[in-house]
Structure 1
Amino acid sequence: MQTFPLGSHTVGRVGFGAMQLTGPGVFGPPRDHDQAIAVLRRAVELGINHIDTAQIYGPNVANELIREALHPYPADLALVSKVGGTRGDNGEWLPAQEPDDLRRQIEENLESLDTDRLAAVNLRLFARDGGDAPARIEDRDLFDRQLTAMIKARDEGLIGGIGLSNTSLEHLRIALERTEIVCVQNAYNLVDRTSQPVLDACTEQGIAFVPFFPLGSAFTADNPVLGNPVITKAATDLGYTPAQMALAWTLAVAPNVLLIPGTSSVAHLEENTAVRDIELPAELLTA
């Protein structure tokens, strides 16, 4: 299966994440502005019609690059953003979770991207420790108010669908009691399958599951995914890169998995996009 529904859009299962177009630490402008623009334009040339972004990437950088490179947007392009956070003066990732925060961030995304409607917006939930493990329900009243704000934005036509990011299975079940959820973004890769129960629930419900860090965290020195011996051996045996092997494995996990690998390199973009044509042998998937 080469495509999967994302709200009212049908998108290719390999999209593009704009986070790495910004400066180091997802803070400040890109090292090479022209190359960032070239990556975005090449993504569309390759048939990518799902771009994941956020106003807090930069902040204010990724969205402005997307607008400069691609506006007016192709009719089939699904622009997906996220809300629920802000950045400190030194680039810290900080929660901004009140309903008014969410509404303001949706409007900021629309303005910076110069569009009237986003295909979907993910509510980014923050764990108490600030990590990327799925957040637990700690304030049910707040979550209900957050959902109300997201539903209102969707019903007013500002967003096409509601997503959840960094969500627990409990959050997902509560949200589904109130409204349709079109996508979920959680950390998931060959080594870290903490979110497997959430992925399984999404598969059962027909919800797009969009793993972040499919190649391991971009913020750690060691990478247990790309250094995994099964991955490195398969890459050598089949003539692909370890990253391509890891991405192809992730695509094969379930038909509702949508990839959004990010890069600031046209060459890496082309390598990442090529995984949509890789079929891994069954025995390798088992290994």
Structure 2
Amino acid sequence: MTTPRIGYGAMRLTGPGHWGDYPDREGGVKLLRQVADAGVTLIDTADVYGPHTNELLIRDALHPYPEHLRIATKGGFVRSGPEISTIAALGHRQYLRQSAKLSARRLGVERIDLYYLHSGWARDASFEEQVVTLAELREEGVIGDIGLSNVTLEQLRTAQSIVDVAAVTAHYNVADRHEQPLLDAATEAGAVFVPWQPVSLSVPGAPTDTAGPDAVRRVVEPIAARHGATVSQVALAWLLGRSPAVLPIPGTTSIAHVRENLAAADLVLSPDEHTAITGL
């Protein structure tokens, strides 16, 4: 799987708590079209965003999809409300098969470009069984590339022993590096590593080795000033410098921010600047 260096995460184009329709549907359609026109070639969504409303919005805005555009979606989570407590992981073979086929229907495609197992936490099926299900769906042509989301390093290695893994998505940014082993493993395997919340400077409830927002800003803001860039652009440039496998998917509801994020791909940090951020 190859794509340009920065994609777009569409999760914010939902209702409050990622529940229900995006309130400004016309604005959401316009934004997605501008995202594609700006040169983004990977849009990331999931069946649980809404649920389902995010996939439908993407179809309404962009189908038939431009040749340069790939859509990634996910299956394996269910939710019954906007609260985090209403989310659960399911991995039963029939459920995953249904999820993938319904996502394809909502997106209006015969084959999903990139399909992620949304979580390795399901208790109704073993992780190996879930990966085998995705492998079967790929053989049947329902999905193209296989990805993994929110999995451990051990689970990634288990999946790689069963099927080719094209992409791994995890929480990773200048403030939170606890998924570094996943990044290293993805890079070694030739898979794409897709950080979500890539420009966040703080992570509530994150591990104690996570850098705080004040510490991050003290280092990043002077670097941004030297380059005439924003803090977010520097955060993205640092990510891109970590590995050629990195493909961040920042989410925003502003086309100006989309263009700002894409411009970060042209921002080159000096070795000293990169080292200063890495040392946080």
**Same fold by TM-score greater than 0.5:** yes
Q: Please show how residues 213-228 of structure 1 align to structure 2 within 5 Å.
A: 213-216=197-200, 224=212, 228=217
The residue aligned with 1:54 is 46
The residue aligned with 1:134 is none
Counterparts of 2:58 and 2:254 in 1: how far apart (Å)? Answer: 15
The residue aligned with 1:33 is 25
- Where relative contact order (Cα < 8 A, 6+ residues apart) is larger, the structure is 1
Q: Is the CA contact (8 Å cut-off) linking 1:215 and 1:225 kept in structure 2?
A: no
1:190-247 CA-partner distances (Å, limit 9, x unpaired)? 1211111111111111110001121238985999458532112222232211111111
- Say whether residues 1:23 and 2:15 are aligned partners: yes
**Secondary structure at the residue paired with 1:11?**
coil
Q: 1:272 to 1:185 in 2, by over 3 A?
A: same
- Say whether residues 1:176 and 2:160 are aligned partners: yes
**Secondary structure at the residue paired with 2:31?**
helix
The residue aligned with 1:93 is 87
Q: What root-mean-square deviation, in Å, do the aligned CA atoms of Structure 1 and Structure 2 show?
A: 2.3
1:103-131 CA-partner distances (Å, limit 9, x unpaired)? 11111211111111111111122559xxx
Q: 2:244 aligns with which of 251, 255, 259?
A: 255
**Secondary structure at the residue paired with 2:143?**
coil
The residue aligned with 1:241 is 230
Counterparts of 1:27 and 1:277 in 2: how far apart (Å)? Answer: 35
Q: 1:155 to 1:61 in 2, by over 3 A?
A: same
Q: 1:197 aligns with which of 167, 181, 200?
A: 181
Identity over the aligned pairs, expressed in percent? 38
**Secondary structure at the residue paired with 1:160?**
strand
User: Deviation of residue 280 (structure 1)?
Assistant: 1.2
TM-score by length of 1: 0.87
Q: Which amino acid aligns with 2:170?
A: N
Q: 1:232 aligns with which of 216, 221, 241?
A: 221
The residue aligned with 1:131 is none
Runs of 5+ consecutive residues of structure 1 not aligned to the other structure? 1-5, 129-137
Q: 1:210 aligns with which of 187, 194, 198?
A: 194
Counterparts of 1:117 and 1:225 in 2: how far apart (Å)? Answer: 41
TM-score by length of 2: 0.89
Counterparts of 2:154 and 2:237 in 1: how far apart (Å)? Answer: 29
**Secondary structure at the residue paired with 1:29?**
coil
The residue aligned with 1:163 is 147
Q: Which amino acid aligns with 1:116?
A: E
Counterparts of 2:236 and 2:195 in 1: how far apart (Å)? Answer: 10
- Say whether residues 1:123 and 2:107 are aligned partners: no
Counterparts of 2:56 and 2:228 in 1: how far apart (Å)? Answer: 37
